[in-house]
Amino acid sequence: MARIQLGLVCGMTIALSACSGLTSVDPNAALSAGSSLYKAATLSDSDIVALSQDACKASDAESKVAAPNSAYAKRLTKVMSGFGDMTLNGQKIDYKVYTTKDINAWAMGNGCVRVYSGLMDKMNDDELRGVIGHEMGHVALGHSKKAMQAAYTVSAARTAAGASGNAVASSLSSSQLGDLTEKFINAQFSQTQESAADDYSFDLLKKKGMKREGLVTAFQKLAQIDGGQSSMLSSHPSSPSRAQHIQSRIKAEG
């Protein structure tokens, strides 16, 4: 059975596996890493971009990326065209499709957006835009930065990565980078963050003149996937209640 993560970048990522390590870091263990912990707590926006760039490359290397002339890639280009020339976190958006049955999507602070073919098989174009808008919302609202800081803390503290003074991205070994990438992609956001990303997507779709109803039906579909246990869009709040919230906004705002 395909994994279901959205809980995009634990992003609407839809193949959501549990990531308890991100929220339960042992302070004493982290302190033993010295400068690594300090780096994690003080990652600058440029650090986040650099880490995201390396993490995205690492993920691409481990995944089956759809060819540019494939039906999936062409469809995603069509879907993304609705967002126009917008940037993400000040970075040009770089979008690709991962060919996998997993149901997931996520975005990173360097503008990296990855959509899984398993999700595309379940969603129409309007629903995909809603999900992608949600994932980009986590980046725009700073949620992804916090998730990356948490992932870096766990990965770096585990092996006391790098000496102080080295560039953050280059201080991680390939195995640590892989560990960080996995933790970030599977990171779970809080209820407040998920709700904020939902509203970000709604506002973005409205601004770009796209159908906001796709967000409603996307949540409704997620509620039915995997017996209603889908974590793709996160289980808190539940997909039905998130669908109702968006429906209420559409009714109130026209």
Beta bridge partners of 5: 15
Q: Which of 135, 40, 49, 32 is nearest to 90 (CA)?
A: 49
Annotation says 135 is catalytic: yes
Beta bridge partners of 87: 92
Select which of 135, 194, 213, 253 is catalytic: 135
Q: ω into residue 237 within 30 of 0, thus cis?
A: yes
Q: Is 62 exposed, middle or buried (0-12, 13-18, 19+ CB in 10 A)?
A: exposed
DSSP summary character for residue 163? -
Task: Cite the beta strand spans of 69-184 per DSSP E.
Answer: 87-88, 91-92, 94-98, 105-107, 112-116
Residues identified as active-site: 135
